[in-house]
Structure 1
Amino acid sequence: MKKEETGVPYYTSPGRKLDGKPYEGTAKVKADTSRIDRLKEQLRSTRAEVDVERVRIMEEVYEDTAGYQQIIRRAKFMATLLERKKIYIDDNLFVGSMASTVNGIYTYPEWNVEWMKEEKTVEKSKNPEDKKANEWALEYWDKRALKPRTLEIFEKKYGFNPNPSYDSGFVVSFFDWPGGGGNLNYPRIYNNGLASMIKEVGERQASLDMRLPNANKIYFYEASLILMRSIIRLAHRYAELAREMASKEKNETRKAELIAIAETCEWVPENPARNLREAIQCHFLCHIIAEIEQVGCGYSEAYLGQNLEPFYQRDKAAGLIGPEEAKFMFENLIIKLNEIGYYYGEKVALQNSADLGQSISLGGYTEHGEDATAEMDYLILDAANYLHLPQPPLSCIYTEKMSGKFLEKVLDLIGTGIGMPQFVNGDVMLKRALNLFGDSKKGITLEKARRTCIGACVGSYVPYETGHPVEGQPNLGKVIELTMNNGYDPRTKQQIGPKSGDPLTFKTFEELYAAFEKQIQFNEEVLRRGAWIASM
């Protein structure tokens, strides 16, 4: 077999086999703009479509697990979904997808089914199997979904129905679509591997006394074990598919690439990543699992470049890759992140086009207060500058210790007009984190607070420690309308807010502003209470 002469060998595993026979092909990571262009065109030209696969499997598992603890039901559902979901491998260097096709979108009836009623999802089902699944989703989740349960608890607790505030157009509520999130501890997975975490959880579970106070821990540990094993199984499914495709592939270069994918997925996320490619694959596969379980706006990537920096530097020092190869790998990842989306009806789609807020933070402080900017941060900017795609949003965490060279790089990308990175004041983020979480009970130290990152659009998290619920998106124009109508909503013909006074009797701007404050305080309190209940 003739080996490709270009590129840098990336896999030299001994004992490599294909179909039981020794295989000497070497996969090479070679910067290839034509491949990136093809993948970008595929992304842009492929229409996003709803995939009912998740709901079909949910129906089956929920019927089989009636009476189980909810956390166990969810774990078993995810394990079944990851075992049976349709998977594919395209020309991307990395594998993993939300649904069964490029730009495929799952639905999440456990959150809200009102949009399914409004858009006649059952009637528009493509086939009898999808229709049956959608009928089940509407019937099962109609009263059990997050939104109806939140409204029911709200009215019992506070004595009035909050729906008028939502229906008036004052706000897009937190439970109409999944907002909020956090930052999963991806580095722990690609630095340690899921196998070591399974061992740790198993030991903790075994050491627990089987008593009522420990019930929640017992179920949590069991669910964790189910899910972690299913993630490894999904990776192995991709490895099996890659080997099957390789056995039929005639092009030797492509055959070597498929074997490299198989070897990667046979190793991570089960084991610690050994190089940059394995670390990125591990990161993305675990990220997509979180989105499959409950897609939402706000699963942050934190300081992804800085977390990957040690792998990049080791590979570069060993002569395995250079900056162009690392940039190429990140371009592949960006395209994968842009394939993820969600659908909660036409209204939500028009509002934010399924923007997931998979934010990456750049720059910022180290735990010791120094400039944290890494070489990978520069390469992320380069990759974003080439692709000009909306995801993931980039945030430059500005500090006075940031170099002028990096700022120039940031400004170059801003100058393209794609709207990123945004500038965020690192010192303000630090103070806010300490104010909110810096006491001894919450345990956020100064060192941890210095690593505060951006999540979603402008939310901030202490990585692996905190998150945030999106309470909703208020419409201040509507507040002014309510103010000018003494709390009465001309659209819904209801008294939405408090009677703050007839504006025709106001003699000063201060009186008008005081009335405005009454309206916004009341409606934001409705919004906040609903979000707190939904987050329980």
Structure 2
Amino acid sequence: MSDGSLESPALEKEIQKRRSAVKPINKRIAKLREESVNSKVKISPERVKIITDFYKSGAAKGKSIPHQRAMAFKYLMERASLPIEEGQLIVGIRGTGPQEVPTYPEICTHSIEDLKILSSRENMPYLVDDETFKLYEEEIIPEWQGNTMRDLIFGSVSDEWIKAYEAGIWTEFMEQRAPGHTAGGERIFKTGLLDIREEIKKKIEEAKPSDPSYYDKIEELKAMDIAAEAMLIYARRYQEKLENMANEEQNPERKKELMEMARICSRVPAHAPETFWEALQHYWFIHVGIVYETNPWDSYNPGRFDQHLFPFYKKDVEEGRLTRERAKELLEAFWIKVNNQPAVPKVGVTAEESFTYNDFTKINIGGLKEDGSDGVNDVSYLVLEVLNEVRTLQPNTAVLVSDKNPRHFLLKALEVVGPGFGEPPFFNFDGAIVKMLRQGKKLEDARTAGVSGCVETGSFGKESYILTGYFNLPKILEITLNNGIDPKTGRMLGIQTGDPSSFKSYEELWNAFLEQVKHFMEIKMAGNDIIEALFAKYMPVPFLSLWTEDCVKRGKDYNAGGTRYNTQYLQIVGLGTLAYSLTSLKFHVFDKKTISMSDMLDALKQDFEGKYEIMRQIILNKTPVYGEDEDYSDTIAKEIVDTVVDIVESYPPSPVRKASKRVYFLPTTAHVYFGKVTGATPDGRKAGFPVSEGISPVQGTDKKGVAAVFRSITKCDWDKTGGALLNQKLTPDILEGRENLKKIASLIKTFFNMGGHHVQFNVVSSELLRTAQEHPKDFQDLMVRVAGYSDYFVNLPKGLQEEIIARTEHKNL
């Protein structure tokens, strides 16, 4: 940051606080971190070339689809580059070097225009060199055009689905990303690939030809075995490279490290790990394999990381193989490996809804053990120290808070939040268990659950909980207020539910809105099941299936319902905007009758311009607000949540995976895109401005403090959902001093005891954010909380920057 003149003493103090919070790291990690954060993100053409060559070779001809996918994975792992960053302690990377990202032509093939946009855009570009452009133009596009999963999806869903998608009523994850959004469990850390191959062999022997699904099971199990062999080849290749490097290394200390790394690669992932270092390398090989096989949304996660690693840590320390400082260095090296893998570049609408390099690998710490006892251990605190010292874009973290955790753990996590890094977020783990039990999970599986992506709960290592896209509630209200017509396009997208000017009561309006929601939900759910069936048939993931219970046991793929639990999620966006808008209509139009419906509709059409600005100010200043502990508005929010959950859960399980239908309330950054396609709303929001994010109140409206926000939100029943995201912005002085930290800790605990699911804090002033906008070169390291992740503020698009600035800056609790 610049040492130039500042606008105020408060800003000077805030910047100095951020500077002083930067902790020293050793020379090795500092060098690796510098390489990671300073490398330009670029598209690596290696994977797309290898996969295309495999299919063009004809080797897959006549094989079943699972067999083809496994052979392609093996072909890749035999040929992928083996980069090793200088000084690294963990090997393996997706791509050809730090910050190089592969593409996945079988899922979604980027056009030349896509590549040009990605390479030239001002914010968060993906650099594309001339050779890659040429490769795409001459080989990749001709081979894959019309043959991708994206092409298959858009050719299979209904015209109604496509029109609603184009209008911004929803988005769809899997039109360019593969199913994923899952996490590993204890199976990873207790099992080697040779063990799994033996398990596969026994399942093949036990299979009965009289079983109608015999052929499918055998083909899937054979594919899993090939995938396991592929990773063994990859690890062996690294072992050989490390041995060669060790033979040439002149530095005795590094030579010793390289020999140990080679030894580790000779053991894992073939066998279950036995040491702390082996456990990290073992997991990382598996992680790289899963994200190389397809491009899962979101990236794979290592489950309950501190609990999986603690037995290795404890044993190594007790037996003298490991010191605390060495363990931290290994964790920091692992941290940087994650940061070196940017998110896969997107196209079209998805590029707008998720404008980040963050690939959402999430490190869970805290919570409970399988037996219900406190899950915090020494590794939990090590992770917090690593997070505080390394401060990279990813991995993300999740502090799982239970009443059984020591208070000290929560306070240590808040110390990391204090300087304004945006990490870590906090989750109600006792509430997560309730969610899992409500969905039919066993108690032990619920206790070993956690969160991935942004705020999404799932049974780690046992569940396929697939996200299907975001659902724009404010847009559906806009269509309701136009009797089924989308005013942006003039299309009749909804159904005719009546001229709003004729409605005599709020109940008529509410019922009309619900009819529109049900109409669109029917189309979306039908599309979900079609897309799910397509991935089950055409895009199996035999390597991912190895690590998720009970795919091997059932001889069934992860994408086809092989996992112990299967869930299909819809992400609801714009709760705050919708609650405020419905409150405004009920209060001003129907109860107080201070605004006629006709005038309200005219004001919306005119974007509150001219004479309608007075009406807008009345709405902004005289309406009960969700987020300020007002029963009038909070009751409406609760009814929205209850009703949407009831509608989604009324649908039967999906035909292929038998997945139950569930709801999350989270936006990533879709609230920005949804705002662009949604006109003015009855809460006084102007056309084009982002809708509210997560379950947060409308930006700038929650003026009675954090406690009032918490009381409002906990009037809703979040245990009915799989997760709900809440952002709060605090002035830096609120988290200064031990006593203030204790107050925040008590408030979080109370919030969770009242039923809240999640909260995260941006500890940053609007003054600093405005200064960063004006002088971006001086604030390259300013990181803020966006949604379920943190990102560099100056790299965000202007609309998202403005949305973060517009959030209420709480000066008191």
Instruction: Please tell me the TM-score bracket, short chain as reference.
Output: 0.7 to 0.9
Query: Residues 503 and 418 of structure 1: is their aligned pair in 2 closer, same or farther, counting only changes over 3 Å?
Result: farther
For the 8 Å contact 1:61–1:77, the answer to whether it is kept is: yes
How far is the alpha carbon of 1:504 from its aligned partner? 3.3
For the residue of structure 1 that corresponds to 2:213, the secondary structure is: helix
1:342 paired residue number: 344
Deviations 1:208-263 (A, max 9, x none): 34566311111111111111111111111111111222222222222222222211
Distance 1:422 1:71 in 2: 38
1:450 paired residue number: 447
1:37 paired residue number: 30
2:161 paired residue number: 162
1:109 counterpart letter in structure 2: P
For the residue of structure 1 that corresponds to 2:518, the secondary structure is: helix
1:61 paired residue number: 54
1:3 paired residue number: none
For the residue of structure 2 that corresponds to 1:361, the secondary structure is: strand
For the 8 Å contact 1:169–1:475, the answer to whether it is kept is: yes
Distance 1:347 1:34 in 2: 42
For the 8 Å contact 1:471–1:527, the answer to whether it is kept is: no
Matched, 1:405 2:408: yes
For the residue of structure 1 that corresponds to 2:296, the secondary structure is: coil
Q: TM-score, normalised by structure 1?
A: 0.86
Query: Residues 108 and 445 of structure 1: is their aligned pair in 2 closer, same or farther, counting only changes over 3 Å?
Result: same
How far is the alpha carbon of 1:122 from its aligned partner? 13
How far is the alpha carbon of 1:195 from its aligned partner? 1.4
Out of 360, 369, 373, the position equivalent to 2:372 is: 369
Matched, 1:535 2:528: no
How far is the alpha carbon of 1:164 from its aligned partner? 1.0
More divergent stretch after superposition (199-208 vs 93-102):
199-208
Distance 1:512 1:343 in 2: 41
For the residue of structure 2 that corresponds to 1:397, the secondary structure is: strand
How far is the alpha carbon of 1:286 from its aligned partner? 0.4
Distance 2:458 2:306 in 1: 17
For the residue of structure 2 that corresponds to 1:175, the secondary structure is: helix
1:14-413 to structure 2, matched below 5 A, reads: 33-63=26-56, 64=58, 65-90=60-85, 91-113=87-109, 115-116=110-111, 118-119=113-114, 126=129, 131-132=134-135, 136-155=139-158, 160-178=159-177, 181-185=180-184, 187-210=186-209, 213-298=213-298, 299-340=300-341, 341-345=343-347, 348-350=350-352, 351-413=354-416
2:173 counterpart letter in structure 1: F
Distance 2:532 2:278 in 1: 35
Distance 1:75 1:130 in 2: 28
Query: Residues 491 and 122 of structure 1: is their aligned pair in 2 closer, same or farther, counting only changes over 3 Å?
Result: closer
How far is the alpha carbon of 1:179 from its aligned partner? 6.7
Query: Residues 190 and 300 of structure 1: is their aligned pair in 2 closer, same or farther, counting only changes over 3 Å?
Result: closer
Distance 2:525 2:253 in 1: 56
For the residue of structure 2 that corresponds to 1:284, the secondary structure is: helix
Structure 2: gaps spanning 5 or more residues:
1-23, 120-127, 534-813
Distance 2:480 2:237 in 1: 58
Over the residues paired in the alignment, what is the CA RMSD in angstroms?
Answer: 2.6
Distance 1:348 1:101 in 2: 25
Deviations 1:76-127 (A, max 9, x none): 11101111011111122101100112111111222233x5264267999745
More divergent stretch after superposition (265-274 vs 524-533):
524-533
1:28 paired residue number: none
1:7 paired residue number: none
Query: Residues 186 and 197 of structure 1: is their aligned pair in 2 closer, same or farther, counting only changes over 3 Å?
Result: same
More divergent stretch after superposition (137-146 vs 265-274):
137-146
How far is the alpha carbon of 1:285 from its aligned partner? 0.9
Query: Residues 122 and 368 of structure 1: is their aligned pair in 2 closer, same or farther, counting only changes over 3 Å?
Result: closer
Distance 1:462 1:222 in 2: 27
Q: TM-score, normalised by structure 2?
A: 0.58
For the 8 Å contact 1:122–1:134, the answer to whether it is kept is: no
For the 8 Å contact 1:363–1:372, the answer to whether it is kept is: yes
Distance 2:225 2:116 in 1: 35
Query: Residues 303 and 232 of structure 1: is their aligned pair in 2 closer, same or farther, counting only changes over 3 Å?
Result: same
For the residue of structure 1 that corresponds to 2:156, the secondary structure is: helix
For the residue of structure 1 that corresponds to 2:370, the secondary structure is: coil
More divergent stretch after superposition (163-172 vs 493-502):
493-502
For the 8 Å contact 2:160–2:523, the answer to whether it is kept is: no
How far is the alpha carbon of 1:395 from its aligned partner? 1.6
Distance 2:105 2:363 in 1: 29
More divergent stretch after superposition (473-482 vs 292-301):
473-482
Distance 1:102 1:346 in 2: 26
2:269 counterpart letter in structure 1: P
More divergent stretch after superposition (374-383 vs 168-177):
168-177
Distance 2:137 2:240 in 1: 32
Query: Residues 228 and 181 of structure 1: is their aligned pair in 2 closer, same or farther, counting only changes over 3 Å?
Result: same
Asked which structure has the greater RCO (Cα within 8 Å, sep 6+), the reply is 1
Query: Residues 176 and 428 of structure 1: is their aligned pair in 2 closer, same or farther, counting only changes over 3 Å?
Result: same
Distance 1:135 1:191 in 2: 46
For the residue of structure 2 that corresponds to 1:527, the secondary structure is: helix
More divergent stretch after superposition (399-408 vs 124-133):
124-133
1:48 counterpart letter in structure 2: V
Distance 1:117 1:507 in 2: 54
How far is the alpha carbon of 1:508 from its aligned partner? 4.0
More divergent stretch after superposition (484-493 vs 37-46):
484-493
For the 8 Å contact 1:174–1:531, the answer to whether it is kept is: no
How far is the alpha carbon of 1:134 from its aligned partner? 5.4
Query: Residues 223 and 461 of structure 1: is their aligned pair in 2 closer, same or farther, counting only changes over 3 Å?
Result: same
For the residue of structure 2 that corresponds to 1:460, the secondary structure is: strand
Q: How many residues align?
A: 495
Distance 1:331 1:531 in 2: 39
Distance 2:245 2:189 in 1: 26
1:88 counterpart letter in structure 2: P
For the 8 Å contact 1:107–1:344, the answer to whether it is kept is: no
Distance 2:202 2:433 in 1: 36
Query: Residues 209 and 515 of structure 1: is their aligned pair in 2 closer, same or farther, counting only changes over 3 Å?
Result: closer
2:55 counterpart letter in structure 1: Y
How far is the alpha carbon of 1:530 from its aligned partner? 2.1
Query: Residues 121 and 352 of structure 1: is their aligned pair in 2 closer, same or farther, counting only changes over 3 Å?
Result: closer
For the 8 Å contact 1:112–1:175, the answer to whether it is kept is: no
2:165 counterpart letter in structure 1: Y
For the residue of structure 1 that corresponds to 2:171, the secondary structure is: strand
1:18 paired residue number: none
How far is the alpha carbon of 1:413 from its aligned partner? 1.8
For the residue of structure 1 that corresponds to 2:497, the secondary structure is: coil
Distance 1:264 1:201 in 2: 24
2:407 counterpart letter in structure 1: G
1:94 counterpart letter in structure 2: I
More divergent stretch after superposition (220-229 vs 116-125):
116-125
Distance 1:141 1:490 in 2: 37
Query: Residues 476 and 262 of structure 1: is their aligned pair in 2 closer, same or farther, counting only changes over 3 Å?
Result: same
Distance 1:278 1:520 in 2: 51
For the 8 Å contact 1:123–1:131, the answer to whether it is kept is: no
How far is the alpha carbon of 1:154 from its aligned partner? 2.8
Deviations 1:176-232 (A, max 9, x none): 342753545464344232112212212322343456631111111111111111111
More divergent stretch after superposition (225-234 vs 58-67):
58-67
For the residue of structure 2 that corresponds to 1:486, the secondary structure is: coil
For the residue of structure 1 that corresponds to 2:174, the secondary structure is: coil
Distance 1:387 1:518 in 2: 50
Matched, 1:487 2:484: yes
